[in-house]
Structure 1
Amino acid sequence: MNVLRKILFPFSILYGFITSIRNFLFDKGILKSYSFDIPVIAVGNLSVGGTGKTPQIEYLIRLLSPKYKIATLSRGYKRQSEGFVLADANANAAILGDEPFQFYQKFPNIQVAVDANRKNGIEQLLSQSEKPEVILLDDAFQHRKVKAGFYILLTAYGDIYAQDFILPTGNLRESRSGAKRADVVVVTKCPPNLSEAEQLSIKNKLKLAKNQELYFSFIAYDNCIYSENSKIEISEIKEEKKLLLAGIAKPESFFSYLKNPDDVCLTYPDHHHFSENDIREIIIKAQDSIIITTEKDYVRLKGSVPNGQLFYLPIQSSFLSSPETSGDQFDKTIKNYVGASTGNS
């Protein structure tokens, strides 16, 4: 923790007090929460960014979309539109935001919507002629105006909420006690070989309630990189000089997976809007070598960088097995909730 953050500790106390009062008012029904008659799963975190919400949402889409009509609802962070927007053929990253547009491109058989007012967004989705059967709320753990039927709380390995502080001293959006609203807690971005002893140590630090389930997941990188019209196995280009580019929170693992000593690495803020100067810098520094970026950055860079030069590296969330839980158990928990909520268990 740097010196400035320590100095700002009194503001953390004030911020924590305000968010605690807000949560108390929702918990007691003084501030109204709205629930809906279909399964609504909220995925979020207590901290600011970097916990892997996007791959977790995509995991749920893959799990549920073969059987149910799925809709995702996001705020659409840094989008250039307002209000409720349902993705269609005219959609792009500027209209939807980068992550919702990524969902739309990868999963054409689902509905993708954005609205900062999640209550209004759900009502708009349910007013469509093709109503969804399950709604996935992206980054909505603190959006108390909507009461989801199921809450998935993410916390990143090496930066778990139990060892963090409220903003601005730490990175928490609310008190650690907010974790009690979660049905499931997933420790994300774990090493694939995380030992059972370390899993137990983390479990003891989180101190979950008996009714809460705990899972551990890691980021699985694809063996290939992809452009609009082609793919290349990573083994073929690992030793070649290339430009690696990331505008995401905590990009270290992305770089380490691809990097060799001759590579050029460019880092931008999360959800960065690439200006003409940024594009010019990228092309100049890349010269004739390939450019590899994240899926989220690719949807914003596509069309600005030559297609034959620009590639992205897909990722997926995968679950670790432990003595108590596994990916199969997680799938069963989600399917049981959705099935019971739809009467189709």
Structure 2
Amino acid sequence: MIFNLLKLLLLPLSWLYAAVLAVRNRLYDRGWKRSVAFAEVPVISVGNLRVGGTGKTPHVAWLVAWLQARGQRPALLSRGYGRRTRGYRLATATDSAATVGDEPWQQFGQFGAAVPVAVSEDRVAGIRRLLAEVPALTAVVLDDAYQHRRVRPTVNILLTEQQRPFYNDFVLPAGRLRESRSGAARADAVVITKCPPDLSAAARATIMAQVHRYARPEVPVLFSAYDYGPPVPVSGTAAGRMAVPVVGSEVVLLTGIAQPGPLLAHLVAAGYCVNHHARFADHHAFTPTEIAALAAQCQPGQCVLTTQKDAARLQEPALAASVADLPVFYIPITVRFLADGEARLASLLGSYFPLPAVG
């Protein structure tokens, strides 16, 4: 009741914020504010309308892997949220989460030299630098750039959580939307993320009808779920010197992500006994004091489970001594599309990235 009253009181501020953003978007839509399209390579934007985690990183990883399977050479460009540097930066092995941001550093660790990973607050300048420095590129994937209107992407992919869909939300501060629901009209595909694998056809049809109140009628609405892999040792920790924790064992969970609920639910459903959950805000920069407190919760024989994004931050040089004796494993996440979602997304992208000729 108190929450609903507070939301009601904040609605006038939300309307004001939404109006300002609507004017900004109209200026871009009419061409009065300049947006840049790149004829050199297709640019794919992946983003959301809502503040907080909607699963962008694993969906970006799916997209990069799909492009590689088509014989393409993609690059990743992000703002690099949470980094301590500014300007354009092309990630190298000497970087860290502090210099490029935790998500780009995770992506660099996942794809290595095969996929250039760069960060830049100015996406236009960032794409131009990438094209100049890596002339063999055939695609650029923009991570979290849905509101970055200065770039006109070739394909605009909008993500929204099944449990927190944009069409049930409000603009900040009454809700969590970065802009009004009408922003979905810019999407070329909408992906409903973090769905239960057995989401029924009737439930999908209901969600599609709600999405199409705001998205264009011809835009495909797709559904995806998470697949969780077995624990992976985090380098620089004691995990490499012990066996992978088995289902049924007691563990400590460490998260610094926006929505840790699905991971916690997976671990419990899988049979792990989570004795303690150290939960921090999204992109939280861990400190040696916090790691020491975590170690105090980890009893002999137990290990620490975390996310791949959190693992990227745990590998900061400043934390090396703190985590060295902790057995830390991350749980890898991959995206799986439901029903014919993968085929429909491949059909949309295939016109820009045809299969290479055989023979």
Query: Given the two structures, how large is their TM-score scaled by the length of structure 1?
Result: 0.93
Looking at structure 2, the residues matched to 307 and 217 of structure 1 have their Cα atoms a distance apart, in angstroms, of 37
Which position in structure 2 is the counterpart of 1:72? 76
Cα offset, 1:285, TM superposition? 1.2
- Tell me the matched-pair count: 339
For residue 104 of structure 1, give the secondary structure of its aligned residue in structure 2.
Answer: helix
Deviations 1:129-187 (A, max 9, x none): 54421000000000000100100000000211111111111111111111011000000
Q: What letter corresponds to residue 336 of structure 1 in structure 2? A: S
2:66 and 2:351 map into 1 onto residues whose CA distance is: 12
Deviations 1:234-289 (A, max 9, x none): 7x522222111111111111112123455211110000011122111111111332
Counterpart code for 2:47: G
> Aligned partners of 1:84 and 1:97: how far apart in 2?
12
Distance 1:56 1:261 in 2: 29
The aligned residue for residue 292 of structure 1 is 305
Contact 2:35 2:149 in 1 (8 A): yes
**1:276 alignment counterpart:** 288
CA displacement at 1:119 relative to structure 2: 0.5
CA distance in 2, matches of 1:232, 1:134: 41
**Aligned residue in 2 for 1:314:** 332
Which residue identity does 2:331 align to in structure 1? Answer: L
Aligned to 2:168: 163
Q: Does 1:62 align with 2:65?
A: yes
Residue 108 of structure 2: aligned partner: 104
Contact 2:231 2:305 in 1 (8 A): no
Q: Supply the distance in 2 between the matched residues of 1:41 and 1:70 (Cα, whole angstroms).
A: 10
Aligned with 1:117 (options 107, 117, 122): 122
Shift of the 219–274 alpha-carbon distance from structure 1 to 2, 3 Å rule, reads: same
User: In 2, Cα distance between the equivalents of 1:343 and 1:12?
Assistant: 52
Residue 136 of structure 1 is aligned with which of 133, 141, 163? Answer: 141
User: Which of the residues 234, 254, 278 maps onto 1:266?
Assistant: 278
- C-alpha change, 1:112 and 1:168, in structure 2 (3 Å) is same
Give the one of 226, 240, 252 matched to 1:243: 252
Structure 1 residue 62 displacement after superposition = 0.7
Residue 336 of structure 1 is matched in structure 2 by 351
**Which residue does 1:210 correspond to in 2?**
217
Q: Supply the distance in 1 between the matched residues of 2:310 and 2:218 (Cα, whole angstroms).
A: 38
**1:307 CA drift (Å):** 6.3
Distance of 1:277 and 1:227 partners within structure 2:
19
Residue in structure 2 matched with residue 46 of structure 1 by the alignment: 49
Partner SS for 2:45: strand
Offset of residue 49 of structure 1: 1.5
From 24, 30, 34, the counterpart of 1:22 = 24
Q: 1:270 to 1:129 in 2, by over 3 A?
A: closer
Rate the CA distance shift 1:231–1:176 in 2: closer, same or farther, 3 A: farther
- Structure 1: any 5+ residue segments left out of the alignment? none
Q: Does structure 2 retain, via aligned residues, the 8 Å contact 1:33–1:145? A: yes
> Structure 1 residue 257 and structure 2 residue 266: aligned?
yes
Segment drifting more, 331-340 vs 189-198? 331-340
- By how many angstroms is 1:293 displaced? 0.3
Superimposed CA distance per residue, residues 204-239 of structure 1 (whole angstroms, 9 cap, x where no aligned partner): 1112423211100011111343333759997x5222
Q: Which is further off, 285-294 or 106-115?
A: 285-294
TM-superposed CA distance for 1:99, in Å, is 0.3
1:101-120 alpha-carbon deviations (Å, 9 max, x no partner): 00100101100000011001
User: What CA distance in whole angstroms lies between the structure 2 residues aligned with 1:175 and 1:233?
Assistant: 49
- Structure 1 residue 126: deviation in Å? 1.0
Question: SS where residue 222 of structure 2 aligns?
Answer: strand
Identity score, percent: 38
Whole-Å separation in 2 of the counterparts to 1:28 and 1:233: 59
Distance 1:73 1:202 in 2: 31
Any idea what SS the aligned residue of 1:8 has? helix
Alignment match, 2:6: 4
Equivalent residue of 1:337, what SS?
coil
How far did residue 6 of structure 1 move? 2.3
Q: Which whole-Å CA distance do the structure 1 matches of 2:273 and 2:305 have between them?
A: 15
Quickly say closer, same or farther: Cα 1:183–1:248, change in 2 above 3 A. Answer: same
SS at match of 1:284: helix
Runs of at least 4 residues off by over 3 Å = 223-227, 229-234, 259-262
Change (3 A) 1:30 1:343: farther
